[in-house]
Amino acid sequence: MENEHIIQLRNIHKHFGKLHVLKGIDLAVSTGKVLVIIGPSGCGKSTLLRCVNLLERPQEGEVIFNGQNILEKGIDINLVRTHLGMVFQSYNLFPHMDVLHNVMLGLTKTLDMPEDKAIESAIEQLNHVGLQDKHDSYPAQLSGGQQQRVAIARALAMNPQVILLDEVTSALDPETIGEVLAVMRQLASEGMTMIVVTHEMGFAREMGDRIVFVDEGIIVEEGPPEVILENPCQQRTKEFISQIL
């Protein structure tokens, strides 16, 4: 069972000054599965996700990726991050670059890929997310949903083993949320390992293999969607689900 888990978090504690944000998180993610993290605002969901690729460094615990604790000294975290694609709530695109060059940038700068190969790979991923006609557009010319799909294409271009998605639809208008969720559903159906922080319960129910409910820095409850969303054990989970649904 152990080797199935591409990511394991063990006893993760994260403090910001006196604020104890994560309080002993234990979590495992299996290859090819979609783990959905839900919970109220400010409960530590995004911090938890950012601890996976050490954008936030926990003060205590272990982050195991491919069987190795990436918190150990001597680990090249930049190399590790090339295998952990991350997509943020804000798209973080470079406004002075067209879509194609936004997607290519990591390939040429981080992976030292030759430009012709990088162009090929970037075009493939833009086509993958349904933006085949937007290669020459600039971010300002795109809708929020299109910009977020560019950000997903940029993460996919690095050929990651896992993709981390942090509230990627929360800044979008209702019309464009659907197009981003459609791309996420497609990735899940293709067997991409995903950790998704979201308030989109429809996606959680339909595509999540497991749902983790976090509150006040601890995992209150976790299980398959039909249990967590329809028949949770913990009172705190019941209260949250009844509010959000």
In one-letter notation, the amino acid at residue 216 is E
Using the 8-state DSSP alphabet, how is residue 84 labeled?
E
Q: Which residues contact 102 (CB under 8 A, 6 or more apart)?
A: 93, 94, 139, 150, 154
d(CA 209, CA 33): 6
- How far is 26 from 14, CA to CA, in rounded Å? 13
3-class secondary-structure state, position 44: coil
Instruction: Report the pLDDT value the prediction gives residue 195, as an integer from 0 to 100.
Output: 98
Instruction: Provide the whole-model pTM.
Output: 0.94
Q: How buried is 231 (Cβ within 10 angstroms: 0-12 exposed, 13-18 middle, 19+ buried)?
A: exposed
pLDDT in tens, the chain (245 residues): 445 899 999 999 999 999 999 999 999 999 999 999 999 999 999 999 999 999 999 999 999 999 999 999 999 999 999 999 999 999 899 999 999 999 999 999 989 999 999 999 999 999 999 999 999 999 999 999 999 999 999 999 999 999 999 999 998 988 899 999 999 999 999 999 999 999 999 999 999 999 999 999 999 999 999 999 999 999 999 999 999 87
SS3 content of the chain, % helix, strand, coil (to 5): 40, 25, 35
pLDDT of residue 2: 46
Give CA–CA dist 100/87, Å, rounded. 17
Q: According to the model, what pLDDT value does residue 184 have?
A: 95
